[in-house]
Amino acid sequence: MSAAEGRLRGRPPATANGRTVPERLPDAAREVFAEKGFDGTSVQDVVRATEVTKGAVYRCFPSKDDLLHEICLRVLRMQNERLDAVVTTDLPVAERVHAAVVDVVGTTLENLRSTTIFFRPLHRLAEENQRQVRRERGPYRETFRALVVGGQREGVFRDDVGAEPAVDYCFGSVRHLPMGWRSEGGASADEVARAFADLFPADIAGIAAR
Amino acid sequence: MSAAEGRLRGRPPATANGRTVPERLPDAAREVFAEKGFDGTSVQDVVRATEVTKGAVYRCFPSKDDLLHEICLRVLRMQNERLDAVVTTDLPVAERVHAAVVDVVGTTLENLRSTTIFFRPLHRLAEENQRQVRRERGPYRETFRALVVGGQREGVFRDDVGAEPAVDYCFGSVRHLPMGWRSEGGASADEVARAFADLFPADIAGIAAR
Amino acid sequence: MSAAEGRLRGRPPATANGRTVPERLPDAAREVFAEKGFDGTSVQDVVRATEVTKGAVYRCFPSKDDLLHEICLRVLRMQNERLDAVVTTDLPVAERVHAAVVDVVGTTLENLRSTTIFFRPLHRLAEENQRQVRRERGPYRETFRALVVGGQREGVFRDDVGAEPAVDYCFGSVRHLPMGWRSEGGASADEVARAFADLFPADIAGIAAR
Amino acid sequence: MSAAEGRLRGRPPATANGRTVPERLPDAAREVFAEKGFDGTSVQDVVRATEVTKGAVYRCFPSKDDLLHEICLRVLRMQNERLDAVVTTDLPVAERVHAAVVDVVGTTLENLRSTTIFFRPLHRLAEENQRQVRRERGPYRETFRALVVGGQREGVFRDDVGAEPAVDYCFGSVRHLPMGWRSEGGASADEVARAFADLFPADIAGIAAR
DNA sequence: TATGAATGAGTCTTCATTCAT
DNA sequence: GATGAATGAAGACTCATTCAT
């Protein structure tokens, strides 16, 4: 209804709750993929679960794979934004690291099922899509690593251990969370988040801080 | 050499290298699944890659899913055996823990592609198969946890951190290894194994040991 | 300049180079159909290749099939016009026949790809469209036949061979030109045109002319 | 049932009238393709028209396109055989040519609908399939051309016209027969065959023979 | 018992056509 | 009149599983 965007062209996009198909489809599809796995979900399943017809799906995303790709990018972007928010705080390094870990673990667990789909081997994505995912992943890891290195330079963290393996170690574990290994245990999301955060700086920072 | 030889009846099982079909099929299939993913592999693919015909596959395993199940169990059993071997050593606790981590990481990386298949969400397996996998996983975790707790009791490890989260933390990361997040880096399998082992006791043992 | 200008109502037809959509669409579409075949071309392809939107296509032509139909009619009309031009010349019959053949072959080869689409079995067109195509085709053949018969009456052509089969023989071959059987050879369009023209009168006229 | 072919392996091929699927499918499919056109025929249509299930179709032919390819090859091989039979006769050249034309036209018309499918532009076939069709087509044309050239050398045919264009001229027309241009006329298959044969040597041989 | 041919439901994707502005 | 988003019925092809020997 906005008169601002010039002359509207073509049949106007159908909206539900004010969101157009390309906006809501990835979020809706993410749930279905999380539920049944990417390979286990047919496009028909997505259509059924969504208020979107099959034709509309393919109008917005050239393939099922590209739909997954978009979902991945959204999560990655979200994570990047959250990390940036934590990093640019005034808190001391050790606390920023702690907060960052609590944040990833927390949001990962809150969206447990939604994040499951990341465990699809990257190489199943189309070449170009792989590149883009990596491009998006890189900064995340780099930002985190820089934060740790900063702490090491400040002398707050010990530096006899490389920042990189420590970060990988931590995030490997975080990314594995949705897999369900531990879903058998009974800790709350918050408890797990704190446990992770307590463990992480122990490797790197705990000792020097002592 | 089997004492049952005397009552052999009907066509004897076909063997290759002295291994019968039900023996060698899972190992062969594991490679194919690792290569292309479970969903991405057709039974025909397995047949092509193996010296086993389709009829024989279905004679041994009632379904493709059951074949996967057997593969999972084998890996789990193997890991359990290796852990047991490490644990029952005379070495001091701290070293046993260290050795155990080096071992898992090492064997995981050596069989990187073969272990990839574990990242299939457990809940896609049939109900009964799920239970069995969990039954097999439990002991592994438990053995490891007991080892750490032992160290804590001996006063070799600090005990202000639960053994359980520390173990999960470590193994989450280990299980994530095949995912390739870090395959972009360039460390050798051995380097990674040591890095993991060095990091793990740091949380738990390192400090008290200092 | 139209005298009707005074009563123009509503939005005037969009034009490009002074040609309205229904005028230029068939010509543009013909190229695309020729390129990829009628069945191999989607309406979307037509839209992409043309400066015409999908809605406009369906405003002008009730279906993709009707669009093809219009294209066929245009070619047929064009051929009829050209033949008429040749026939109404003052030249001697034998030369008129010769010129006519050179003309069809030449224009067919020049528009090789555009004429390809005629090789779509007629019966795939809607009933009414089939009739119309036949109505248009009839005169062409008839005109040509009449020309030959005229030559026979004049005694310029031998008449121990029916005019009809000779004409069919010739045009069958002409219509087959776009199929590519001979595209493997290397003769120029003009050479082929002359060869055909030389061969044609040979059957019918050549001998008597001798 | 034959004991001669060694041990039978796998489920024996289903047969109808003693013909296995890969044997009868192309013939059956040819009819359907001829009826509705290649693009207009779905594999489902083929399945419906044949006593063959979809899976069986794809077991025998990797794609719909390869099925068409096989059909083409069969017709080409048949034509080659028939031509060879005519050519190796003791008849005088002029008569061999005449017989050859009568034969192609006759068989083409008898299988009118079956041969229709050849009018699918060659370039729509897969690269390798194209090559194979050309390999099969070449000999046919060459054999015919050689026959005519032989007649020219013997002085039976006039030689002021190339054998090649004459042959192309004739076969272009023959190949166009199924298109239906002339199906509107009412001549019998035999009449048409003779008309063609009478016309062909007219170009090339008739005159010299006079 | 082993074999591989056959089955047919199900997959992703395309596309002619309609429709809300 | 024009636009392009939406529709939904096919389409080609795959594949886990069964079955006749």
pLDDT tens-digit profile of C107-163?
Answer: 888 776 666 666 566 666 777 888 888 888 889 889 999 998 998 888 888 777 778
Q: Give me the pLDDT at residue D137, please.
A: 83
pLDDT digits (tens, 9 = 90+) for B66-117: 999 998 888 888 889 999 999 999 999 888 988 998 898 888 877 766 666 6
Return the higher-pLDDT residue of B208 and B143: B143
Domain A14-61 CATH class label: mainly alpha
Does D168 contact C179 at a Cβ distance shorter than 8 Å? Answer: no
Mean pLDDT, residues A114-120 taken together = 63
- Architecture per CATH, domain D64-209, reads as Orthogonal Bundle (1.10)
Return the higher-pLDDT residue of A45 and A168: A45
Locus of tokens 């193994």: B171
Spell out which chain C residues touch chain D, with contact meaning CB-CB distance below 8 angstroms: 37, 39-40, 116, 119-124, 134, 137, 161-162, 164-166, 168-177, 179-182, 184-185, 187, 192, 195-196, 198-199, 202-203, 206-207, 210
Angle in degrees, CA C177, C172, C198, rounded to 5: 75
Q: Give me the pLDDT at residue B191, please.
A: 78
CATH topology of domain B15-61: Arc Repressor Mutant, subunit A (1.10.10)
Spell out which chain D residues touch chain C, with contact meaning CB-CB distance below 8 angstroms: 36-37, 39-40, 116, 119, 121-124, 134, 137, 161-162, 164-166, 168-177, 179-182, 184-185, 187, 192, 195-196, 198-199, 202-203, 206-207, 210
In chain B, % helix, strand, coil (3-state, to 5) comes to 75, 0, 25
**Closest Cα partner for C176 from B30, D14, D171?**
D171
Whether the pLDDT of residue A182 is over 50: the answer is no
Label residue D82 by pLDDT band (50, 70, 90).
very high
Angle in degrees, CA D192, D198, D200, rounded to 5: 100
Return the higher-pLDDT residue of D154 and D60: D60
Label residue D56 by pLDDT band (50, 70, 90).
very high
Average pLDDT value over all residues in chain C = 79
Comparing A65-69, B164-168, D13-17, which segment has the lowest mean pLDDT?
Answer: B164-168
CA of B73 to C1' of F16 (A): 22
Q: How far apart (Å, rounded) are the C-alpha atoms in residues D93 and D154?
A: 9
pTM, to two decimals: 0.85
Q: How far apart (Å, rounded) are the C-alpha atoms in residues C101 and C105?
A: 6
Whether the pLDDT of residue D191 is over 70: the answer is yes
Task: Tell me phi and psi for residue B111, to 5 degrees.
Answer: -105, 30
Label residue C182 by pLDDT band (50, 70, 90).
very low
| Token pair for D29 | 């499919």
Q: Are D29 and D71 in contact (CB under 8 A)?
A: yes
Nearest CA in chain A to B140: A181
Angstrom distances, CA of residue C52 to CA of A194, C59, C163: 61, 11, 45
Dihedral (Cα; A45, A50, A54, A59), 10-degree rounding: -130
Q: Are A164 and B185 in contact (CB under 8 A)?
A: yes
Return the higher-pLDDT residue of A126 and D71: D71
The residues spanned by each domain of chain A are 14-61, 64-209
Whether the pLDDT of residue D29 is over 90: the answer is yes
Do B and A make contact via 3 or more CB pairs under 8 A? The reply is yes
Return the higher-pLDDT residue of B120 and D196: D196
